[in-house]
Amino acid sequence: MPQAKLAIRSGLIILWLAGCAVAGVLLGRLAVTPVDARAQASTRPNILLFIADDWSYPHAGAYGDKVVKTPNFDRIAREGTLFTNAYCASPSCTPSRASLLTGRAVHQLAEGGNLWSFLPSKFAAYPDLLEASGYFVGHTRKGWGPGDFKAGGRTRNPAGPQFKDFTEFFRQAPKDKPFCFWFGTQDPHRPYEKDAGLKAGLKPEHVVVPPHLPDTPEVRRDILDYYYEVERLDRDLGDVIKTLEAAEQLDNTLIVVTADNGMPFPRAKANLYGFGTRVPLAARWPAKVKAGQIRNDFVVLTDLAPTFLDATGQQIPAELTGRSLMPLLAGKQQAGRAQVFLERERHANVRRGDLSYPVRAVRTKDFLYLRNLRPDRWPAGDPELYFAVGPFGDIDDGPTKQLLLARRDDAVIGKFFALATAKRPAEELYDLRRDPGELHNVADKATYASVKKQLRATLDKWMRETGDPRATTDDDRWDRYPYFGVRAEKESR
């Protein structure tokens, strides 16, 4: 019996020790350790926004452009989702980036609605929200701006702390945290190296000149130089992809590639027409983004902040006007994607009295309706230099602009000059089915009266529901907001 009791006692001791070991393992799993934190981090994706500066749809191989080569953007589109109706909230760098960062309509951002302004600190930016939830954040090159972020009560750029490049950021990123990074290339912003496109082997005869620009050798070469910088930004994107692949982090990263506004050409950038607001957009994340998907839904870059918060498990603040794209990225349908709202206030300070050129618009598959709220003002800036840039200063300087200025009295070129610079009526309406180039305003035609009435009411409703001051007081407050740009013929915009 004593031996039996000893055997039982020994067995109980062994079971007790085994139980302690199991309990220790379980408790260890609950403890926060570097290894466990890395495992936890892997359940939340890294966020990487790659944003170009002045790049229009459809200038990428994935959209069918036969001249410009964008293999890395095309890869993101092929292995993820490509959007064909993506628009910036405003065709101007500072407000577009502010809306993207905050997920809020441009007219809700006070001073943040102007170029060369500041973004008040009361408007939270998604990098700050992700940092508070444990993300390591940073940006390189052009973040939010141009402007003075300190004037808005901020201690750093709203895009996050600045790093020399993505390699430096990635090297410093803690292994136990997911990261959120903003790569803001300055391409294809002007100025361009003259004939860089020709020297790179691009062929001017292959260029498809947008219908609002004259088809001349100067314009074709100017577009080639723009294409050259698009190809350069694509190579930068490729370097980022290689870094992530080498670290086996590519598939755990939600990569979004887009641009802040359209190409820096007349009647494009700073305008609410297609070449000013329609931008490339593609996203890749194998865990949640459907591969090989092409979406024709109307989306706006304001949707990116709630998308990033949604993808990382964060609560989306109720005050955001943007909507998460995650349902669309997953291949689902989402109501309310048949139209997009666009706006602009003061771009460069190019009108006497620091005046803005306020416009609101709604775009659908078939129509573009614009309301020019101050039609007495020059849409592209005063004909003579007022404060910044030069005559018609909302148009970036370059060979195409110089051609229009020099030959404005020419019977052919003069029509394109007028399209870019002439005063515009209070309402514009374009039938995109018959006039995809948006050249013929049909707002005054009786056959379009019902369409105009419907779109006018749609725009009014959006302005009221989102608290647009232009829908109530309309007090021209954007004219009085500070402008931090320099007085110069050329300035970084």
292 and 362: one domain? no
| Predicted confidence (pLDDT) per residue in 56-81, tens digit | 999 999 999 999 999 999 999 999 99
276 and 194: one domain? yes
| 308-321 CB burial, b ≥16 within 10 A, e <16 | bbbbbebebeeebb
pLDDT band at 43 (very low <50, low <70, confident <90, very high): confident
302 and 382: one domain? no
Q: Residue holding tokens 């393992």?
A: 25
148 and 259: one domain? yes
CA dihedral 278, 101, 337, 260 (to 10 degrees): 0
DSSP character at residue 185: -
- CA dist 242 → 176, 250, 251, 442 (Å): 21, 8, 12, 49
Q: How many domains does the chain have?
A: 2
- Report d(CA 160, CA 131) in Å as an integer: 9
Q: Is the pLDDT of residue 111 over 50?
A: yes
The mean predicted confidence, pLDDT, of the chain is: 92
Average pLDDT over residues 238-263: 98
Phi/psi zone of residue 214: left (φ > 0), alpha (ψ -120 to 50 degrees), beta?
A: beta
95 and 232: one domain? yes
Q: What is the largest CA-CA distance in the chain?
A: 119
Pick 474 or 78 by higher pLDDT: 78
Task: Please answer whether residues 276 and 268 qualify as being in contact, where contact means their C-beta atoms are separated by less than 8 angstroms.
Answer: yes
Is residue 491 in a domain?
Answer: no
289 and 368: one domain? no
The pLDDT value given to residue 187:
98
- Report d(CA 195, CA 192) in Å as an integer: 8
Is residue 110 in a domain?
Answer: yes
- Report d(CA 350, CA 394) in Å as an integer: 7
| Token digits of residue 272 | 């609410």
Is residue 163 in a domain?
Answer: yes
248 and 371: one domain? no
Task: Please answer whether residues 94 and 109 qualify as being in contact, where contact means their C-beta atoms are separated by less than 8 angstroms.
Answer: no
Q: Is the pLDDT of residue 209 over 50?
A: yes
Q: pTM to 2 decimals? A: 0.90
- Report d(CA 279, CA 301) in Å as an integer: 9
- Report d(CA 430, CA 434) in Å as an integer: 9
Picking from 337, 353, 385, the residue at the C-terminal end of a domain is: 337
Q: Please give the full DSSP string across 375-431, using - where no structure is assigned.
A: TTS-TT--SS--SSSSTTTTSPPSHHHHHHHHTTTSTTHHHHHHHHHS---SEEEEE
Average pLDDT over residues 473-489: 85
| Token digits of residue 172 | 């410093």
CA dihedral 213, 217, 223, 228 (to 10 degrees): 180
276 and 384: one domain? no
119 and 229: one domain? yes
Is residue 10 in a domain?
Answer: no
Is residue 192 in a domain?
Answer: yes
| Predicted confidence (pLDDT) per residue in 344-372, tens digit | 999 999 999 999 999 999 999 999 999 99
360 and 328: one domain? no
The pLDDT value given to residue 306:
98
CATH code (residue 144) = 3.40.720.10
How many residues appear in the chain? Answer: 493
311 and 171: one domain? yes
Picking from 317, 337, 357, the residue at the C-terminal end of a domain is: 337
Alpha helical stretches, state H, 247-383: 274-277, 304-311, 326-329
220 and 283: one domain? yes
Picking from 294, 312, 337, the residue at the C-terminal end of a domain is: 337
Domain region containing 317:
38-337
Is residue 11 in a domain?
Answer: no
pLDDT band at 33 (very low <50, low <70, confident <90, very high): very low
Is residue 9 in a domain?
Answer: no
Is residue 408 in a domain?
Answer: yes
Q: What percent of the chain has pLDDT over 70?
A: 90
Q: Is the pLDDT of residue 282 over 90?
A: yes
Pairing of strands 81-87, 427-431: unpaired
